[in-house]
């Protein structure tokens, strides 16, 4: 069998990809040659310009399609509008932190819809396209919180454990086809959102940037290093390669040892 790591000719849809990890994944997939569809719930000139800049940088077709991942019909419409969908990366996600007995129902519903149910809708819409194309990859961005828990994150932990379980079921239903489904479980990743919290934390704790990162933010990440969006993208590209054709139904941790504790 000849091995290829090039994704030229494949189309990848990445939900929630106008910032952070999703954008990093879109960039690495484009670097590997895939045409990419970026997505979020906004529809600004910046969103479309971001897609255009990726297309120009990597010489691929890059589009931006607005769709709200909290709505099932939008999730399915995203896949329809994408046309081809060989690679589906379910990445859109939000967070809310509160004790269970104070957790707002609206936040619970939104987290379950965006972090979990969206993946059901997009996957259901994408699988027939992958079957018709004779190849497919579904990659769900879960979290270390898909394998372990923290207090005050009930909806997030429930949704992320759910996405790990959902990935296993899709893997079993496609096991005899050239389609794989896996989840990726990041630890703490340095995104613009996380970077923006560092100055405040330095003030609150009267600590240096380095101490805030190592002693406050990364207290559960044994490497004491953030994972990067490029490392998330590289893991996704690997799962799309021929090397990973027999990797299905698993959860790959990229967490500096968090879940080994």
CA dist 142 and 139 (Å) reads 9
Answer yes or no whether residue 20 interacts with ligand NAD by CB under 6 A: yes
Shortest spacing between CB 192 and ligand NAD, in angstroms: 6
Q: CB nearer to ligand NAD: give 131 or 214.
A: 214
Answer yes or no whether residue 193 interacts with ligand NAD by CB under 6 A: yes
In sequence order, what are the beta bridge partners of 186?
254
The interface mask with ligand NAD, positions 27-66, x = CB under 6 A, is -------------xx-------------------------
CA distances from 97 to 70, 149, 156, 248 (A): 19, 13, 9, 32
Q: CB nearer to ligand NAD: give 81 or 133.
A: 81
Give the sheet arrangement for strand 179-186, strand by strand. 62-66, 35-40, 11-14, 87-90, 136-141, 179-186, 251-254
Q: Is the dihedral of CA 245, 251, 255, 260 positive or negative?
A: negative
Answer yes or no whether residue 25 interacts with ligand NAD by CB under 6 A: no
152 a catalytic residue: no
Answer yes or no whether residue 21 interacts with ligand NAD by CB under 6 A: yes
Q: CB nearer to ligand NAD: give 5 or 197.
A: 197
CA dist 12 and 51 (Å) reads 13
Q: How many CA atoms lie within 13 A of 18 on its CB side?
A: 19
Answer yes or no whether residue 16 interacts with ligand NAD by CB under 6 A: yes
Shortest spacing between CB 118 and ligand NAD, in angstroms: 7
C-beta separation of 44 from 121 below 8 A: no
Among 11, 117, 143, 235, binds ligand NAD (CB under 6 A): 143
95: tokens are 């967070």
Answer yes or no whether residue 154 interacts with ligand NAD by CB under 6 A: no
Answer yes or no whether residue 22 interacts with ligand NAD by CB under 6 A: yes
Q: CB nearer to ligand NAD: give 91 or 117.
A: 91
**b vs e for 189-201, b when ≥16 Cβ sit within 10 Å of the residue's Cβ?**
bbbeeeeeeeeee
# chain residues binding ligand NAD, by CB under 6 A: 26
Shortest spacing between CB 4 and ligand NAD, in angstroms: 28
30: tokens are 């484009």
Q: Provide the 3-class DSSP secondary structure of residue 90.
A: strand
Which residues within the stretch 86-125 sit at the binding site for ligand NAD (CB under 6 A)?
91-94, 114-115
Q: CB nearer to ligand NAD: give 25 or 240.
A: 25
Among 11, 18, 154, 253, binds ligand NAD (CB under 6 A): 18
Strand locations in the chain (E)? 11-14, 35-40, 62-66, 87-90, 136-141, 179-186, 251-254
Under the rule (CB under 6 A), what is the footprint of ligand NAD? 16-22, 40-41, 68-70, 91-94, 114-115, 141, 143, 186, 188-189, 191, 193-194
- The residues annotated as belonging to the active site are 156
């Amino acid at each position: 069998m000849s091995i290829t790591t090039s994704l030229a000719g494949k189309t990848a849809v990445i939900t929630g990809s106008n910032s952070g990890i999703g954008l990093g994944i879109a960039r690495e997939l484009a670097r590997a040659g895939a045409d990419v569809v970026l997505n979020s719930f906004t529809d600004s000139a910046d969103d479309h310009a971001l897609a255009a800049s990726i297309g120009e940088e990597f010489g691929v077709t890059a589009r931006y399609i607005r769709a709200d991942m909290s709505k099932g019909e939008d999730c399915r419409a995203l896949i329809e509008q994408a046309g081809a969908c060989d690679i589906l990366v379910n990445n859109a996600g939000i967070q809310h932190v509160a004790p269970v007995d104070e957790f707002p129902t609206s936040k619970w519903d939104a987290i379950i819809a965006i972090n979990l149910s969206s993946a059901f809708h997009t996957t259901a819409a994408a699988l027939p396209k992958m079957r018709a194309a004779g190849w497919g990859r579904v990659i769900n961005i879960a979290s270390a919180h898909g394998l372990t828990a923290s207090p005050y994150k009930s909806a997030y932990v429930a949704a992320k454990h759910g996405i790990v379980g959902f990935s296993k079921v899709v893997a079993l239903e496609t096991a005899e086809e050239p389609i794989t489904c896996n989840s990726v479980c990041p630890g703490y990743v340095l995104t613009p959102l996380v970077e923006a919290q560092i100055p405040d934390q330095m003030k609150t704790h009267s600590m240096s940037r380095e101490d805030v990162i190592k002693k406050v933010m990364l207290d559960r990440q044994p490497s004491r290093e953030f994972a990067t969006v490029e490392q998330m993208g590289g893991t996704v590209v690997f799962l799309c390669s021929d090397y990973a054709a027999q990797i299905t139904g698993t959860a790959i941790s990229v967490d500096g040892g968090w879940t080994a504790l």
